Each structure stands twice: as C-alpha cells, then as structure tokens.
Amino acid sequence: MERKNNLRPIMFAGTGSDVGKSIIVSAFCRIFLQDGYHPAPFKAQNMSLNSYATPEGLEIGRAQAVQAESAGISCHTDMNPVLLKPTSDKICQVILNGKPAGNQNAYEYFKKEGREVLRKEVCNAFDRLQQCYNPIVMEGAGSIAEINLRDVDLVNMPMALHANANVILVADIDRGGVFASVYGSILLLTEKERKHVRGIIINKFRGDIRLFESGIKMIEELCRIPVLGVIPYYHDIYIDEEDSVTLQTKNLKSDSGKVNIAVILLRHLSNFTDFNLLERDPRVHLYYTNNTKEVEKADIIIIPGTKNILSDLCELRQNEVAQSIIQAFHSNATVIGICGGYQMMGREVCDPNHIEGDITRLPGLGLLPISTEIKKEKITRQVQFSFLDQREKCIGYEIHMGTTHSINNSEYIPLNKLDDGSVEGCFLHAQCFGTYIHGILDNRTVIDYILAPYVRQSESNNPEHNPFDLKTFKEEQYNKLANHVRQHVNMEMLYQIMNDYSAENIVLD
C-alpha cells in the first residue's frame, strides 16, 4: 500500500452544543479510513451519561467509541481521557483515564487550582494517540467561544493550540441565527486562536442549497475564512447518538399492530443505545415514556440504566410509574431491567456510603429476590456470555457501581453465564428478569426470546424478520454517512489545509 503523508490534526469545534460535531467526527474518521489513512478520534473532555467499556475494561464516552468504530479501530481511553457523568444538576462523577476519580460539583471542577494536572493528562493522552495514528480527528465541546471559561478550558482552543490543529468551525443552520453564531464565535477568539480556524462547515441544512449560495459568500466576506461545505439534514442514516435529549419524542404512543415495548424514561437514563436494535426490528414498536397509561399498555417494559439509581427510583414512586410497572407485571406484561433498572427490580437498593446522595436505602419494586449495595469501586468490562444456557455466544459490557446478591437462594436463578465461568443477572421466569449487561439486546438470541410470547411463529419465520447483522448494518451506516458528508464538503481544500503546517488561514480573494 502506498504510504500516506502525515496530516496535521483537525478539530471540529462548534458554535454551540448539539450542532453535530460528534457525527461529523464519525464521518471524517470513516472518510480518512476510506482514503487510506489510519485515523483516530480524540475528545479531551466529554460530558455524557452514555458511556462504553474499552477492551481493557475502562470507561469512555460512547461517542468516542462510535468514532473509533467508524475509524476501524478499537476504542481506548486516550481518545477521551476525561469523561464527566452528571449525577444531578450540579454534581458530576469525574472519569479520568477510564477510572472514577470522585464526584465534584461544577464550581469545584472549573476552579483554576489543580487545573494544570488535568491539562497535563489530556495533553499526554493526545500525544500518545498521535504517535500511533494519523490523522487525529478532534472534537470540541459546546461552544468554541465560552470566553468566561477560557483559562480553564481543556477541550477547545487550548487543546487545538497544544495539538497545532486545524480547526473547522461547525454551525447548525437548522436552529437559526447561523450568521451571528459563526461571526460572533470567530470574533470572540484571540488573534492567536483565530489563526487556527481554517474553515467553516454549515450543518443540518434543509431545502435547496442553491438558495444559500449568497449566504456562503456573506459568511466568507465577514469572517475571511472559507466555507468548506453545507451539509444537508439527513433522515436515513443511523449512527448512535450521544445524548438522550430527543428520546421523549420517539414513538410516543403504543401501536396495536406490533409488540409494544415501553422503555421507562428516567431522569438520569444512561446507555440508551441498548435499544437501537429493538427500535429497528419490524415486529416491534418501541417508545420511551414515563406516562403511567402508556406503561400499562405495553407488552414489554424495560427499565434502563441510570446514573442515579436512588434518585430515579424515588421519582418513579412519586410519579406512580413504579405502581404502573408492578400493575402491568401482574397483568402479564414482561418486565426487564438493565443495570440500574435491574437493581431497581429487587427488594432494596442500599447506599450506606452515600455515593449517590443523602438517601441510605430505598425499597425496590420487589419483582426479583435480590438486594443491591452501591459500592465505591466501579466494575467496567466487556463480556462474552451464554444467555440462559443457550449455545450461541453473546457479547456486551458492564459499567456499574453496585453489587447484587440473592435474598432467597431457592428463588434465584442466574440469567447469564460468562466465559470466565461466573454468573450474573437474575431470572425469575420468562417474563421477569434483570441483568447488568449493557448491549444484551444487541444479540438476536435475546431479542427473539423476549418477543416469543407476543409474536406468531409464522411472523418470526417471515423472510422480513431474518437475523439482523448489526456489524454489517453499522458498517453500511458509517459508509453512507461518509459519502453524504464527502459529497457536500470541498475535500480538495480540506486536504490542502491539513497538509499545511503554517497555521495561517487560507486567504480569500
């Protein structure tokens, strides 16, 4: 294979949150891979409840795991050395290099004191990554121009300066105000920082792009920086999302023609990607809800993972969703718990060390004969397992800070047997069980098992319902995304920028 020249690192920074930075990084990881390079993603600091376990058993943001997958490589903590997992509106668990480093409130975390320690860690992670991969495809966080946080910023321009990276500013035209957000963001940067901003991408465009041609010229005249592309909004490409902010808008009501699966919409819901495969099963209608009537209409109820088990369990009792789950169970609905949801299904959840807050103990839903104690140590690992002693090997991962034991051994049956010989989860019967394993529903064996009581054999044997190859599907989606972005970005100019180490803007005529 022809040896590729080294490209300067590239950072996709945003005019604000949710402008599409994570997806664009995924796209360019795949584009560079297609073009013969060996790329890797990097985000110095991420804030998300959606995390993933690396092959080494450490924790990073799910978005960086997806980006690594798009780049065709295994994920590593160097791709996301600092992960913040909110446990309340003001408190976050800090994950440093894949391991919990304690809880901090926002004020403590953003103090200047001790900031250089974190800065050194993220810079070292980037330096290690750069020795192994090229190019490094970096992601900023939130807005590039949070000037009040400039001195303590780890992830945007200070990181770009350390990496000597080209910065591409990403703006979301769908939310409006694109001219002000682009021009204002650049204007608020220092002169040194502005030299690194080499291009602009307008994202999430709807309509006829020809109508925005004059807008492109206006932005370039204002900013003296080239617009590299205008990327249209897409509807038929499926990439794992980072945030759960849109879950409540997904499939709000039940559907009498399919198996209705209600995922309980918890305030601190985490790892909602557990349900991506179920969402695409033609036999299933999946919706997220905390509406008691919609919960009671469901054939299958799934209680998902959460970053604050006791707080969400308390809220389920207050909004009467807990009672609706129990009522639905007694009316023959299937109830399944994953991770925190599994813990909630037991007799009690205890937090004697007050890791999650002030609550020491809460009674659970009482559906499983188990008790859980929240621990300081976090279990993070990828696993292979057999589901209910079936032959087919399944895969998933664990991320939790609790240990669960049986209360009544005569009633307790493990759900899964891991490859190391250990067992986990609790199986009461076919319509009531729980597990710590995220990604368990990415395995066709498990999906077919939980749907079996609700679908006719003829439906399962329908060619339309042939086993779904998740790996092939993901590869197709990454390639579709790359092709979509490539089609609407001036790749020749982008490569020209990435081959230029002078840190000077391309001068527009």
- Residue positions counted in the chain: 509
How many Å apart are CA 227 and CA 169, to the nearest integer?
Answer: 9
pLDDT value of position 139: 97
How many Å apart are CA 348 and CA 369, to the nearest integer?
Answer: 9
Reading the chain (509 residues) residue by residue, the pLDDT tens digits are: 445 689 999 999 999 999 999 999 999 999 999 999 999 999 999 998 889 999 999 999 999 999 999 999 999 999 999 999 987 777 888 999 999 888 888 777 777 777 888 999 999 999 999 999 999 999 999 999 999 988 899 999 999 999 999 999 999 999 899 999 999 999 999 999 999 999 999 999 999 888 899 999 999 999 999 999 999 999 889 898 765 445 555 555 566 689 999 999 999 998 889 998 898 899 999 999 999 999 999 999 999 999 899 999 999 999 999 999 999 999 999 999 999 999 999 999 999 988 888 899 999 999 999 999 999 889 999 999 999 989 899 999 999 998 999 987 777 899 999 999 999 999 999 999 999 999 999 999 999 999 999 987 545 555 555 667 888 999 999 999 999 999 999 999 999 999 986 645 554 55
State whether the Cα torsion 467-57-399-373 is positive or negative.
Answer: positive
The model carries a pTM of 0.87
How many Å apart are CA 353 and CA 343, to the nearest integer?
Answer: 17
pLDDT value of position 393: 93
Please give the helix or strand (H or E) that residue 301 lies within, else none: strand 300-303
Active-site pick, 76, 400, 438, 488: 438
Please give the helix or strand (H or E) that residue 278 lies within, else none: helix 276-279
Active-site pick, 75, 339, 394, 426: 339
Of the candidates 175, 185, 160, 140, which has an alpha carbon nearest to the alpha carbon of residue 47? Answer: 140
The domains located in the chain, with CATH, are 10-238+475-498 (3.40.50.300), 257-455 (3.40.50.880)
How many Å apart are CA 47 and CA 85, to the nearest integer?
Answer: 6
pLDDT value of position 1: 41
Burial of residue 464 (CB within 10 Å: 0-12, 13-18, 19+) is exposed
* Catalytic annotation present for 339: yes
pLDDT value of position 311: 93
How many Å apart are CA 218 and CA 312, to the nearest integer?
Answer: 48
pLDDT value of position 280: 87
